[in-house]
Structures are given as C-alpha cells and as structure tokens.
Amino acid sequence: MQRATWGSKLGFILASAGSAVGLGCIWKFPYVTASNGGGAFLLVFLAFAFTLGLALMKLELALGRAGRAGIVGTFKQLGGKHWRWVGIPTVLGCLIIMMFYGVVGGWTIAHIKMTLFGELSTTNTAKLSSAFSEFIKQPVTPIIYHGLFLALTLGVVIGGVQQGIERLSKLLMPLLFILMLLLIVRGVTLPGGWKGVEFMFNPDFSKLTIDGVINAMGLAFFSLSLGMGVMITYGSYIDEHTHIPGTAMWIVGLAVMACLLGGLMVLPPVFAFDMNPGQGPGLTFISMPAVFAHMPGGVLFGTAFFTLLLVAALTSSVSLLEVAVSYFVDELKWSRRMASIVPSVLMLIGGIPASLSFGPWSDVKLFNMTIFDLMDYLTSNIMLPLGGVVTALFGGWVAWKTVEKQLAHGNQLPAFAMQTIRFTVSWVAPVVISVVLLKGL
C-alpha cells in the first residue's frame, strides 16, 4: 500500500514545525536562557541548533523517508532486526517528557481560564507571582488540568484527526507568531524593557558554565524535537521529490525563530518589572500576565495568547504520544485505541509526582533536583542527546548510502556539503555530545 504523503511542501514544513514549536520555545527557552546567564548561553544554543541540530534534522528526515516507518521500523528496515531495541528507550523518553510537558500544558489551560475571567488582571507582579505559586502548589487542581491536557492529546490521536489539527495549526501558528510580535513590541517599549533584550543578546562568557553548555545542548534537542524519532516519523510522510536539506533548514529556522521570539517576549517585562530572571519554570506564566495588564484589551490578548500556546503545545504532545502509539501498534500489535490509552494513563500517573513537586513534595530531591526538574534533565539533557548519538551513528555508519541518496533527491548537493553532513553525523555529533555528557557527569 502506498504510504500517504503530505499534501504540499509547505504543509509538511508547518506540520513538522508544529512538533518542534511548542512549550519548549515559549515556556522553556526563556527561563532556561535566563537561568543560564543570557547572551553567552544563547550563542551556544544557536551553535548547537545550526550545527548538530541541523545535521540531525536532515538525517532523521532522510532516514524516515527511506524507511517509510517510525523509528523502530526504519532502523529495522535499514539496519536489521537487532536495531529494534532502540524502540524501548525512545518510548520511555517520550513517556517521561509527556509526564512533565503535560503538567505545563495543564498550566496553559488553567491560564486561559484565569485570564479570561480576569483573575490575573493586575499590574502588581508580586500578586501575579504569588497567584502562580498558589496555583501550582495545590495538590489536586493542577493534576486535573494535566489530565485535561492529556485527554485533549489522546482525543486527537485516537480520533485520528492529526490532519485536522495540522490544518488548524497552519492557520493558528502564523497567528501565534503575529501575536508574539505584538507582545514583543509592548514588552520592549516598557520602561526598562530594553534591558531584557541586552541581557539576551550581550554575551557574557564569564556566566557560562559546563552546566550551561549541557543545558544549551539539551534545549536545542528539546526545542527541535530531535533524538526521539519524531522527525523520522514525520520524514516517513515526505514525498520523493522534496529536497530534504532545504526542508530541514526551514524547520530548524522556524523553531529557532520561535525560541528567539519567545525570549524577546518574556524577558523584557521581567527586567521592566524587576522580577527575578532566574526563578525557573514559572517565568512565562508570571511575566506575560503583567504585560497583558499593561495593554488595552489585555484580557482578549491574554486569552488569545494562552489559547494559541495550547494549540502549539498540542501539536507537540501529539507527536510525542504518536511515538509510543506507533511502537505499541507496530511492535506489539496492539490496537490503536489501546496503544493510545495505555501510554496516556502512564503519562497521567507519572505527571502526579511532577506536579506535586511544586507543592507537597517540593522537598523531595534526587541529585539535588525536584522530581519535575529531574524528569526534564534526564530527558532533555541525557536521553535526547543519547538518542541523537545513536541516530547519528546509525545514519553515518550503517545507513549512509541510503541517507546520501535521500539527501540528494530533488536537488543534487555539492560534494563538499554532502561530505560535511557525513562527517558531522559520523564523527562530530557522537564525539561532541559524548564529551559534553561526560563532562557533565
């Protein structure tokens, strides 16, 4: 049977950008950049995104189109049966990511409601900050919202309406970008707001630590959806004529742009209102309501912002759940319904300690991290980069001939460009990632 392909090149780019652009760019990028000192961290992030990130994006898309399957099917087909073991860590990684991603997705839903009902309509940032911490501290309500976010994700995956949500995101993603631009203008023109821009773009290398480098690498993997086979799965739907290197550049470019816009939107108000930039995961949720309160029609803009953020989060969470679903369907021959429900239930259960780690379990620490931070660290900074190493080694050493053919479809690459990609995936990516990981240990 012929595998379905994307209706158009633009459709494909937007759908894959939909997986990449999500909470990672708008919620995570600003606070991780702020906690790691700003400008210098940003440069390292950009370096990872446009070197290893871009090469791995090309590789994952090429492998997917050659294998015409998800990560396990593709590895098995191109490398032999024993490669099926890569499925287990990727499924596990996606499950753990969704445990904390779903909690933040839940915060987004709660913020739609709170903004709509004017509960956050105050310019008093101390009040906004305590409203946020009061909310996340609760033992039950945030978990209910987390469940709601997972139910929405599950609904899309079980209903088989990915096509629908991708069409929706084609419409809503540009709207999110436009709204972000508008909010950036408001934030930057606040008295003192420009300091946020300077903080983001003025590199101060004395603030860069080895932890910062690991975080920058992890953030690049996370915000580009790399290392978990998501882009392999998406690549399996690209038609034969699409030029993969150009497409990969578009996806990386769009995701990085979303991150930069996210930073430019969240950080200026943090400085204008004298908030603590290093306060962690609450940054976007505290600084944005302060901006809405400083603009006419703030309730409308605020509600629209959190709604668009929710859609962006859903297009990413759907791609994560899909990795688990296709594994259970293809490898264990489960029905699609069961293969969607079982991981969702696990994600729900695993999200409970993640959510409680902001409240009753805030003292529970492992390796000096809360459960939420540990899940994030383990996946973004260890599992995704390791997934990247395995994919790079596979593409560079086991399946290079196939990858080379895929990369040349649609438009022959100059020999030098091809050699650079090969060298990057065979040597640079495995060595650099391993060195950074080992240094971190």
- Nearer to ligand PFF by Cβ, of 230 and 421: the residue is 230
Residue closer to ligand PFF by CB (options 129, 319) is 319
At its nearest, how many Å lie between ligand PFF and the CB of residue 128? 23
d(CA 111, CA 431): 42
State the minimum distance, in angstroms, from the CB of residue 223 to ligand PFF: 4
Could you give the C-alpha distances from 279 to 33, 36, 101, 283, in angstroms and in order?
A: 11, 11, 18, 6
> Phi/psi zone of residue 239: left (φ > 0), alpha (ψ -120 to 50 degrees), beta?
beta
CA triple 245-219-21, angle to 5 deg: 60
Partners of 366 in the β-ladder: 369
| Contact call for residues 22 and 313 (beta carbons, < 8 A) | yes
Of 59 and 272, the one with the shorter C-beta distance to ligand PFF is 59
Q: Closest CB to ligand PFF among 25 and 49? A: 25
Tokens found for residue 51: 């070197």
Q: Which is nearer to ligand PFF, 98 or 275 (CB)?
A: 98
Nearest distance from C-beta of residue 139 to ligand PFF, angstroms: 26
SS3 (DSSP) at 369 = strand
Nearest to 130 by CA among 248, 289, 5, 16: 289
Minimum distance, C-beta of residue 125 to ligand PFF, in the bound complex (Å): 26
CA distance 224 to 256: 8
DSSP structure string for 280-320: -TTHHHHHHHHHHTTSTTHHHHHHHHHHHHHHHHHHHHHHH
Q: Which is nearer to ligand PFF, 18 or 142 (CB)?
A: 18
Residue 272 or 309 with smaller CB distance to ligand PFF = 309
Q: Which residues in this chain contact ligand PFF in the complex, by CB under 6 A? A: 19-20, 22-25, 97, 222-223, 225, 228, 230, 316, 319-320
- The smaller minimum CB distance to ligand PFF, of residues 128 and 230, is found at 230
Name the minimum Å distance from CB 382 to ligand PFF. Answer: 13
Residue 377: name the closest of 390, 365, 395 by CA.
365
Our CB check for ligand PFF shows the closer of 152 and 413 to be: 152
* Gyration radius from the chain CA atoms: 21
> Shortest Cβ distance from residue 92 to ligand PFF (Å)?
12
Helix (H) or strand (E) holding 185: helix 162-188
Of 261 and 413, which CB lies nearer to ligand PFF in the complex structure? 261
Q: How far apart are CA 179 and CA 173, in angstroms?
A: 10
Least CB distance from residue 416 to ligand PFF, whole Å?
A: 31
Contacts of 348 (CB under 8 A, 6+ apart): 102, 146, 147, 150
* Cβ proximity to ligand PFF, 97 vs 436, nearer residue: 97
CA distances from 127 to 30, 113, 121, 268, 429 (A): 21, 17, 10, 19, 45
Q: How far is the CB of 147 from ligand PFF (least distance, A)?
A: 19
- Residue 155 vs residues 198, 314, 318, 333: alpha-carbon distances, Å: 42, 11, 10, 21
User: Considering the complex, what minimum distance in angstroms separates the CB of residue 255 from ligand PFF?
Assistant: 7
Closest contact distance (angstroms) between CB of 105 and ligand PFF is 10
Distance CA 280, CA 257 (A): 22
For the CB of residue 380, give the shortest distance to ligand PFF in the complex, in Å: 8
∠ at Cα 333 (332, 335), nearest 5°? Answer: 120
